[in-house]
Chain A
Amino acid sequence: MRMVFAQTLTELARTDKDICLVTPDMGYSILDCFEKEFPDRFFNVGIAEQNAVSVAAGLALSGKKPYVYSIIPFVTMRCFEQIRVDVAYMNTNVKLVGVGAGFEYGAAGYTHQGVEDFSVMRCLPNMIVCGAGDNREMEEIVKQSTQIKTPMYMRIGRHNKGIFNHTDNIIVGKASVLEEGEDIALIGVSNMMPDVMDYAKKLKAQGRKPYIISMHTVKPIDKDLILSLVDKGVEINTFEEHTIIGGLGSAVAEVIAESGKAVKFKRYGVPDKFSHYVGNQYYIKEKFGLNFDK
């Protein structure tokens, strides 16, 4: 998914001369295609995330379209106040790109894991928040991002389970219904889409008819879709490799709670505790009950 981001952005940069890439020393080998083709629009600003975001804001104020790329904690939390003021408050056209969704860098330890990014980005006005579930969604989100003039955060995950979203309506701000259903809706985001597919298989084997939905835009959340499910009385489950506080599950819960109606609802995600587990992504997900392939 990282390569899809880098290659798509490189391709777009051929015709859009305002696109530039800022990194606080991340993206080794991944961003090479962009750097090689556009050395004058590629800025490794050193290991200085706060400044990376402020500099990007300055570039955006001059009409550029900067993308700031780093590992999730470093591009969302290390520089949060710069994002809050220089990007969100000033409504600058800065795109933040975080790699290592959930426990993708599981073996690297908690410092490198990305499990709170949706929460912290979602609370900022003006900020669009996306998490592609597969490479096709990633490509579409990047393409559309160049036409969006407001701040945006893009979470990049990784899985080798292929493409799930074959729809022709991948639109930032709208959920993609991958399969229509009847009695339960499985709403996933980012890394969890393969797990959503696995869980759907199990439910189908039990005779249930699940909707399978990729909520690749967590903010603005697709309220219309959620309310239509609530109107039909459909049970809703959410799936995210992210804390259950403030991310996809919370966003969906907020819509349900204010609908004035009730449906069965469950959030699958990382509980309110730190991972001290040592192991890879699958291993840590297993510890939190987030694998559905057995």
Chain B
Amino acid sequence: MLPVTEIRKEILDMGYRSKASHLGSALSLVEILYTLYFKVANYSKDNYQEPTRDKIVLSKGHGSAALYAVLHKKGIISDEAINHYSVNGGILPCHIDMTAAPGFEASAGALGHGIGIAVGLAMAKKMDDLPGHVYTIIGDGEAQEGSVWEAAELASTRHLDNFTVIVDFNEIQASGFSNKIIDQRNLSERFKSFGFTVYDVDGHNIEELEKVLKIPSDKPKAIVAHTIKGKGVKFMEGTVHSHYVRLNDELYAQALAELEDK
């Protein structure tokens, strides 16, 4: 099984045990987080408490299951924590509580916060002349929050070349198709006009993600990662329903079977 498939299986296991929602939001994120944590960022079990390392803020906190699974694979989050996701007496909540387990830069769940926190982290690195890059991942729905653009305008004004925002552009949000609710087909142009170096990539292509993440830029960088909500599980892919679907025995079995077909 490919590493990203193992991560997806863990997300489904967590979803099945807890009956928690936001599975589609987590599944679209897998390659983005996997590439960051395993291919790009200077971030490991040994250095995650060091100030000089790279920092990664998952601003779209509802995709937490993907982050938990990746940090578990990284050896930072324990088996016990994963097995106690979103259950009574549990350890890991649906939205990130930074006190719940090691490895998180910030708590998250309210949209449009993490990107500003990430800008603050990048500014602090500049103040102390510290190495390391700060990455944040937002959703395309989240990009509708005004505070995202408050953070973006500050990042470019302050020439934060140590800052990258990745948009998980799965084109679906809680109540429907994003571009019908707020037309964001020009999201790349928006970031360009805010002073970012922008790349549009296939958000499920690890090689492509790795390549653009590693290209140096003298400006803040925005990577618009085009993804599929619910990626990896056919009955969820590209559906609004995948935001809230809860896995019963039958759906769980079907989801696993579809995963294993890949």
User: Which residue numbers of A lie inside 8 Å of B, CB to CB?
Assistant: 20, 40-41, 43, 45-46, 48, 50-51, 53-64, 66, 81-82, 84-86, 89-90
Contacts and interface: CB of A to CB of B under 8 A. Distances in A.
A260 to B, nearest CB: 35
A130 B55 CA distance: 34
B120 A50 contact: no
Contacts of A46: 150, 153-154, 157
Nearest to A24: B150
Q: Which of B98, B107, B112, B150 has the most CB of A within 10 A?
A: B150
Interface in B105-138: 105-107, 109-110, 112-125, 127-128
Contacts of A57: 106, 116-117, 120
B120 A90 contact: no
B113 A59 contact: no
Nearest to B114: A54
B123 A43 contact: yes
A57 B108 CA distance: 13
Nearest to A81: B110
A48 B124 contact: no
B51 interface: yes
B147 interface: yes
Nearest to A45: B154
Closest 7 CB pairs of A and B: A58-B120, A54-B116, A62-B124, A51-B150, A48-B150, A55-B120, A50-B147
Sorting the interface of chain B by its residue count into under 10, 10 to 19, 20 to 34 or 35 or more gives: 20 to 34
Secondary structure at chain A's binding surface: helix, strand, loop or mixed? helix
A20 B110 CA distance: 26
Contacts of B117: 54-55, 57-58, 61, 86
B4 interface: no
A82 B109 CA distance: 11
B124 A63 contact: yes
5 contacts: A48-B147, A55-B151, A60-B120, A62-B121, A89-B107
Given A50-B146, A58-B122, 10 more contacts: A51-B151, A53-B116, A55-B116, A55-B117, A55-B120, A55-B154, A57-B117, A59-B121, A86-B106, A89-B97
B89 to A, nearest CB: 20
Given A45-B154, A48-B150, A81-B110, A58 B124 contact: yes
Contacts of A50: 112, 116, 146-147, 150
Contacts of B125: 62
Contacts of B151: 51, 54-55
A99 B262 CA distance: 60
Contacts of B114: 54
A61 B120 contact: yes
A51 B106 CA distance: 15
A59 B154 CA distance: 14
Contact of B119 (A40, A54, A81, A82): A54
Contacts of A62: 51, 120-121, 124-125, 128
Nearest to B59: A54
A61 B105 CA distance: 8
Nearest to B145: A50
A278 B6 CA distance: 66
Contacts of A20: 127
Contacts of A66: 120
Nearest to A55: B120
Contacts of A48: 147, 150, 153-154
